[in-house]
């Protein structure tokens, strides 16, 4: 059993430290649209994403105002369950297309864009969405402070409010690896997975140590283990030595007997 636990522990280490999804680094070869957003991960064209609300559950963002028939169809065909439908302005695929175009710009060595992803953004430490509902997604783009005004004007002109530009202190370009790809929590939640992994690793390490750590124990001459029960009496100690089949030297036996008399007097 201990060998199995140790084997599982070793397997856990790379997965705990690996983060979540594979990253397309900005200095790698430019990937195609189908690699960037595979067909198997795509939402229907009228779905804007999936988010979670406490006390409600999963909320499906749907472009416009879907008919009851369309909602029933989505409940039957969509790969995730959802409790309610929230109207939104842009589809997830449309926003991913914008993110891909910005990603291509990030591969330019002169780019001042540090990260981009579809999701929500953080305001004073609180993660919030966009639109009237406060749940819609946008392409959140982090840029260097020196280029904030330039990119804000440029992206507003090209993409309208599909893009939200913010100053990023990150000093290295980050592409799809740190892009917002989470479906229920928005982009800013991606960093939580490595933290959760490290936390699980620590908890598992403590459990493993408690299972495998050596436990000190005293034994009699015949191998019987003395536990942390109350002290044995002189009669029990003498019987244990006698039953072991061995006898100490005469002076040693007298010394032991004297100490036992003192402890029991």
**Residues 148-160, mean pLDDT to the nearest whole number:** 97
Mean pLDDT, rounded, of the chain: 73
What is the predicted pLDDT for the residue at 26?
43
**Between 163 and 11, where is the model more confident?**
163
Please tell me the distance from the alpha carbon of residue 161 to that of residue 131, in angstroms, as a whole number.
10
For the CA atoms of 149, 152, 154, 160, the dihedral, rounded to the nearest 10 degrees, stands at -160
**Between 142 and 241, where is the model more confident?**
142
Nearest one of 153, 119, 113, 114 to 136, comparing CA atoms: 119
User: pTM for the full model?
Assistant: 0.56
Domain boundaries along the sequence of the chain:
21-189, 219-264
Residue 240 per-residue DSSP state: H
Please tell me the distance from the alpha carbon of residue 215 to that of residue 56, in angstroms, as a whole number.
49
Residue 224 has pLDDT above 50, yes or no: yes
**Between 183 and 198, where is the model more confident?**
198
Nearest one of 143, 131, 125 to 51, comparing CA atoms: 131
**Residues 108-114, mean pLDDT to the nearest whole number:** 92
What is the predicted pLDDT for the residue at 31?
85
**Between 23 and 226, where is the model more confident?**
226
- Considering only 5-14, 22-31, 94-103, which range has the smallest mean pLDDT? 5-14
Residue 126 has pLDDT above 70, yes or no: yes
Other residues' Cβ atoms within 10 Å of the Cβ of residue 166 = 14
């Amino acid at each position: 059993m201990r060998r199995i636990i140790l084997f599982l522990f070793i397997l856990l280490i790379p997965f705990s430290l690996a983060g979540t999804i594979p990253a397309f680094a900005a200095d790698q070869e430019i990937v195609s649209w189908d690699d960037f957003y595979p067909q198997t991960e795509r939402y229907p064209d009228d779905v804007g994403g999936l988010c979670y609300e406490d006390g409600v559950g999963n909320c499906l963002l749907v472009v416009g105002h879907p008919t009851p028939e369309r909602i029933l169809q989505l409940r039957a065909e969509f790969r995730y369950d959802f409790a309610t439908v929230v109207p939104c302005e842009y589809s997830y695929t449309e926003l991913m297309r914008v993110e891909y175009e910005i990603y291509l710009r990030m591969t330019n060595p002169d780019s001042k864009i540090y990260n981009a992803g579809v999701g929500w953004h953080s305001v004073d430490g609180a993660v919030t969405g966009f639109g009237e509902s406060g749940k819609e997604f946008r392409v959140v783009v982090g840029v260097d402070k020196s280029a904030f005004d330039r990119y804000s004007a440029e992206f507003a002109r090209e993409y309208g409010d599909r893009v939200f530009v913010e100053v990023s202190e990150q000093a290295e370009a980050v592409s799809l690896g740190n892009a917002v790809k989470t479906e229920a929590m928005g982009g800013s939640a991606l960093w939580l997975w490595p933290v959760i992994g490290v936390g699980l690793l620590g908890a598992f390490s403590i459990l493993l140590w408690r299972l495998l750590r050596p436990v000190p124990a005293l034994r009699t001459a015949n191998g019987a283990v003395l536990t942390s029960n109350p002290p044995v009496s002189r009669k029990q100690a003498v019987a244990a030595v006698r039953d072991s089949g061995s006898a100490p030297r005469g002076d040693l036996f007298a010394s032991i007997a004297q100490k036992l008399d003192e402890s029991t007097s």
